[in-house]
């Protein structure tokens, strides 16, 4: 009995001393065109203004479509033909932690400082990670443009580099840009849905899908003598 009481007291003490992580949310502030989200294991559902997208969900934008998400005091503009998963949204011990996985596409993030709160904002792609604390930047998984503040870009090898405002930088990437997909769709009269983007993220896969041969270019270069 005495042992059980000690155990219960210990559990209560631990529960009181370890601060609980309060979950924040990503709220759809505005959107245009076709914007859908999918909760883990669920079906794709159209978003609506004011909708709170849960942690673990994936958001997808179609052609000429865009969504603006409010995450705490930060704003995330999800550009056309983007697929991004919300891995973590939590406030813990005075830190707002946002972890997003950008599978394909481009986002513009404005991460704002909040009085008394630290921001830990990470945007990860298959090839690199942009980690920020109070800044504004645009990122598509391998092209990073820093508009304000300082962004740490971590490449696939875990090497980190601080990128200041005004600098655009590229790390290794593997994606087909949305503009290429759109132009090919018009050229060959096919419809490439947002759900197919992941499977078509290489030139050879895209050429196979469209049933076309690739071409070559000979670049004749000249240097001043």
Q: Does 199 bind other proteins (CB under 8 A)?
A: no
The interface region with other proteins, picked from 5-13, 96-104, 114-122, 203-211 by CB under 8 A, is 203-211
Neighbouring-strand partners of residue 210: none
Compute how many residues bind other proteins; rule: CB under 8 A.
Answer: 50
Closest contact distance (angstroms) between CB of 167 and other proteins is 6
> Do 191 and 200 meet the contact criterion of CB atoms below 8 Å apart?
no
The interface region with other proteins, picked from 14-22, 30-38, 67-75, 199-207 by CB under 8 A, is 199-207
The interface region with other proteins, picked from 16-24, 66-74, 87-95, 179-187 by CB under 8 A, is 179-187
Q: Does 179 bind other proteins (CB under 8 A)?
A: yes
Report the distance separating Cα 7 and Cα 97, nearest Å: 32
Burial of 14 (0-12, 13-18, 19+ CB in 10 A): exposed
Q: Does 159 bind other proteins (CB under 8 A)?
A: yes
CA neighbours within 13 Å on the CB side: how many for 42? 15
Q: Does 64 bind other proteins (CB under 8 A)?
A: no
Closest Cα to residue 131, out of 102, 105, 152?
A: 152
Q: Does 5 bind other proteins (CB under 8 A)?
A: no
The interface region with other proteins, picked from 3-11, 36-44, 45-53, 167-175 by CB under 8 A, is 167-175
Would you state the structure tokens that stand for residue 15, as one six-digit string? Answer: 């529960």
> Do 210 and 188 meet the contact criterion of CB atoms below 8 Å apart?
yes
What is the signed CA dihedral for 65, 69, 75, 78, rounded to 10 degrees? -30
Report the distance separating Cα 35 and Cα 14, nearest Å: 43
Q: Is the four-CA dihedral 63, 64, 65, 71 of positive or negative sign?
A: positive
- Select from 12, 40, 42, 172 the one that contacts other proteins (CB under 8 A): 172
Q: Which is nearer to other proteins, 79 or 92 (CB)?
A: 79
For the chain, how big is the Rg over CA atoms in Å? 22
Q: Does 220 bind other proteins (CB under 8 A)?
A: yes
- Select from 9, 32, 52, 161 the one that contacts other proteins (CB under 8 A): 161
Residues that bind other proteins (CB under 8 A): 140, 142-143, 153-155, 157, 159-161, 163, 166-180, 183-184, 187-188, 202-204, 206-207, 210, 212-225
């Amino acid at each position: 009995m005495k042992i059980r009481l000690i155990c219960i007291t210990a559990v209560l003490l631990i529960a009181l001393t370890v601060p609980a992580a309060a979950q924040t949310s990503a709220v759809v502030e505005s959107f245009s065109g076709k914007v859908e989200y999918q909760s883990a294991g669920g079906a794709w559902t159209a978003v609506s203004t004011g909708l709170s997208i849960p942690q673990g969900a994936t958001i997808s934008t179609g052609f000429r479509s865009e969504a603006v998400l409010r995450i705490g005091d930060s704003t995330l503009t999800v550009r056309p033909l983007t697929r991004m998963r919300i891995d973590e949204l939590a406030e813990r011990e005075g830190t707002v932690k946002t972890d997003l996985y950008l599978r394909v596409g481009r986002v513009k993030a404005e991460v704002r400082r909040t009085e008394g709160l630290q921001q830990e904002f990470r945007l990860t792609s298959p090839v690199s990670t942009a980690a920020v604390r109070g800044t504004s930047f645009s990122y598509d998984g391998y092209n990073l443009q820093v508009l304000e503040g300082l962004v740490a870009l971590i490449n696939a090898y875990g090497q980190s580099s601080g990128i200041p405002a005004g600098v655009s930088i590229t790390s290794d990437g593997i994606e087909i840009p949305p503009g290429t997909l759109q132009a090919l769709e018009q050229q060959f009269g096919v419809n490439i849905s947002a759900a197919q983007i992941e499977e078509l993220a290489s030139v050879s896969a895209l050429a196979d899908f469209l049933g076309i041969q690739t071409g070559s270019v000979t670049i004749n270069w000249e240097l001043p003598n």
